[in-house]
Each structure stands twice: as structure tokens, then as C-alpha cells.
A and B are shown apart, each in its own frame.
Chain A
Amino acid sequence: MRTIIKRSAVACLFSIVAVFSFPTMAFAESGSSGGASGLSLLFPTLGEWIPMLIGFIVLWIILAKFGWPMFIGMIDKRKQTIKDSLEKAENARIENQRILDEQKANLDEARQQGAQIVADAKKAAEMARADIEAKAAEEAESMLNRARLTIETEKRAAIAELQATVADLSISVVDRVIGENLTDADHRAIIERYVAEAGSFNDN
């Protein structure tokens, strides 16, 4: 209601301004009355005032019916648009601020994680280094032990081979002596001694 009154007042004011802005047909007096005062020029006569009033009313009606609503609608729309824009801008600002804060928090977290990763990597590298060193030392010790064992084994094999060679040589000498130097009488003496020394068959 107040809006309608406000609109009507504005429309009335605008009409008055519009009426007085239009050039009115001035019934110019032929000069007979030459004597009209200047002040009467400012105020319309009755014959002028009624058409003017009718025109004013028609104009007012037209404006009130079609013009003002459209104008007011445009203004309202514009106001609403501006309001929406302002709201959007505010929301966008709030959202941006929120995103900014979030990004800052993410950045901080990423920095912390990065620092932690670096620290973990350093620790792991240190552990790997220590492990590699220990394994290398262990491997070196193992190689030394294997080498010692190989040397010992080869030494024993060489000794055993030498012993076998000496044994073979000794036996071959004895064999030759037996084959060349024993007579039949010697053989029979050996047989007789072995028969006498041999145990019972029940002992085997």
C-alpha cells in the first residue's frame, strides 16, 4: 500500500512536470486584449486547464497502468540484480576465503608431510647404509672362512694323495721283492705258518 502511494506521488509529480514541459497551445490573443498581464501567462485559463487536466489524467492513467509498473519493475529488477550480484559477490568472497584457508591448511599439511617424508627417507637411508655395511663385513668374513676351508681341504687332499703315492710305491716295491725273491720253499713256509696262525672258521 505504501508502495502504491509512493508510486502515485512520484507519478503525479512527474505528470505535473511533463504537463508544464509541453508547449501548450496558447490562444494568442489577437492583440485585442493586448492588455493581458504577464502573470496570467503563467497560470492557465479554464479552457486550457480542463483539457490539460484531462490529458494529465489520461496520461497519469496510462503511466500508472503501464509506465510506472514497468519502470518500477525495471528498477526493482535492477535492484534485485544488484542485490543478487552483491550477494553472489559476498558469497564468492566468503567461498574464496574458505578455499584460501583450506589451501593454506593443505599447504601446511603438505609441508609437514614433506618434512616427515624427508626425515623418514633419511632414516631409512641411514639404516640401509648400516645394513649394507654389516652385510659386506659378513660376506667378507664368510669369503675368508671359505677360502681358509678350501685351503685346508686342498692341503688335506694333497697330503692324502701324497700318502697314497707313497703307499703305492712301497707296496709295489714289496710286491716286486715277493715276486722275484721268494722260492717255492719260501712260499710253502709262508703257507704253513699262515695255516698254523689262522684261527677257526667259527671265529669268522
Chain B
Amino acid sequence: MTTSPASTVVEVYARSLVFTDQDAADNGQAGAVDPLAVLELSRQVSEVVQSVTGSSELRATLADKSLGLGIRVGVVDELFKGSDERLLAMLHLMIERFELKLLARVESRFIDLLEEHYKITLFDVTTAIGLDDALRKSIKDKYSAQFGTQILLRETVDPRIKGGIIMQAKGKRIDASLVSQLAQTRHVLASRTSGGRN
């Protein structure tokens, strides 16, 4: 199967985020995974992608050819100060080559490479309140057996879901939040002619 030029570019960007110079020196052999570092990097990548894709004004500024490269790079450095150097370097290159439109694909491929390289599964959970250690353990135990890999939890607290949990991994999603269940209940009550009873 032939890959398009854009796919090749995405692959290069994603690999630049996953593999360090040490990995290259080790001929691509996976080193020991630092969960916190991996989670932090993935969090930063997600934040950058959301910021760029969610703001048309920022996208327009970074893609404005009339502005000098230094100005556009300065904007990104200021916005994402403190981010991983590999991430910033990748952003600088994407800005220079006007390839910011590939960011979402880079993030997706980055996650895949990360999981393949470190034999992990990045597991996003969203809850109305913060998880405790018992809950974390129960989630990791259940799904590490299922995926056969180490589970790294990326936790998000969102009171808007009212309760329950939303889980996402490997591009799939399980929505067990109270807000979605209330919406489903409302749909059943509103659509059935017998008031919800069969």
C-alpha cells in the first residue's frame, strides 16, 4: 500500500516526539518508560492540539505569510512556555513549513507510536470528582488484563457529567456518565406512547 506524502510527514513528526536521541542510539529499542514523563508529554501535545485547532485566530496568525518566522515562532514559544523541547522543535518546523494542519493526525500517530514503543495503553478517564487510588487500581487491573499492556491513566475532572465515568482508549469510548444516562432516559420518556412502560 503506497503512503501519501502527508502520511510520511505525519510519521516523521510523530516519531520526533516519541523517540529521543538515546532511543536512536539504541537502534529503536524501547527503554524503561517513565509514566509521568509520558503522561506529561501526551498532555502537552493534547493541549497544543486543542489550542491550535480550537482557535481560528491563532491558526490564522501562525499561517500568516506576511509575518516573519521569528514572530510566529515567538508566539508559540510564549503560549506554550515550559513545554517539552521536542514538542516546541516540532512546532517550529511545522510553522516554518506551514504544516500546522497536520497537528491532529500527528497527535493520533504519536499516541499510537507511544503505545507501541513503550508497550502501554494511554487510558483517558473523565469523572465528576477526582479518582482515589482504589478506583485507579480497579480500572488499571481490569483493562490492563484486557489490553495486555500497562495502563497509564490520564484523568480529567468534569463536574458537567454529573457522575459516573467516561473512558477512552485505543480510539474507542465507553460513556457511563450520569448526564448521558439522563439524556437517554429523557429520550425514552419523550418517545414512548405508554409513558416509558412497554
Contact = CB atoms under 8 A, between A and B. Distances in A.
Contacts, number: 84
B186 A167 contact: yes
B133 to A, nearest CB: 11
B35 to A, nearest CB: 20
A198 interface: yes
A195 B138 contact: yes
Given A164-B190, A201-B169, A188 B146 contact: no
Nearest to B167: A198
Interface residues of B, number: 35
B142 interface: yes
B146 A201 contact: yes
Given A163-B195, A187-B128, A187-B129, A195 B189 contact: no
A201 B172 contact: yes
Interface stretch (A29-37, A99-107, A177-185): A177-185
Contacts of B61: none
Nearest to B127: A191
B91 to A, nearest CB: 32
Nearest to A174: B182
Interface string A27-56: 000000000000000000000000000000
A163 B195 CA distance: 7
Interface string B149-171: 00000000000001111010110
Contacts of B191: 163
B165 A201 contact: no
Contacts of A175: 162, 182
B135 interface: yes
A200 B163 contact: no
A202 B147 CA distance: 10
Given A166-B189, A187-B127, A195 B139 contact: yes
Interface centre among A170, A179, A201 (most CB of B within 10 A): A201
A160 B131 CA distance: 40
A188 B174 contact: no
B178 A201 contact: no
Interface centre among B163, B167, B182, B187 (most CB of A within 10 A): B163
B190 A201 contact: no
* Interface class of chain B by DSSP: mixed
A204 B182 contact: no
Nearest to A191: B165
A192 B135 contact: yes
A178 B160 CA distance: 12
A191 B143 contact: no
B138 A192 contact: yes
A56 B139 CA distance: 176
B174 A198 contact: yes
A160 B192 CA distance: 9
B173 interface: yes
Contact of A167 (B129, B165, B189): B189
Interface of A: 159-160, 163-164, 166-168, 170-171, 174-175, 178-179, 182, 184, 187-188, 190-192, 194-202, 204
Interface of B: 127-129, 131-132, 134-135, 138-139, 142-143, 146-147, 162-165, 167, 169-170, 172-174, 176, 178, 182, 185-187, 189-193, 195
25 contacts: A159-B193, A163-B190, A166-B195, A167-B185, A167-B186, A170-B189, A171-B185, A171-B186, A174-B185, A182-B163, A184-B129, A187-B129, A188-B135, A190-B178, A191-B135, A191-B163, A192-B138, A194-B164, A194-B165, A195-B139, A196-B138, A198-B176, A201-B170, A201-B172, A201-B174
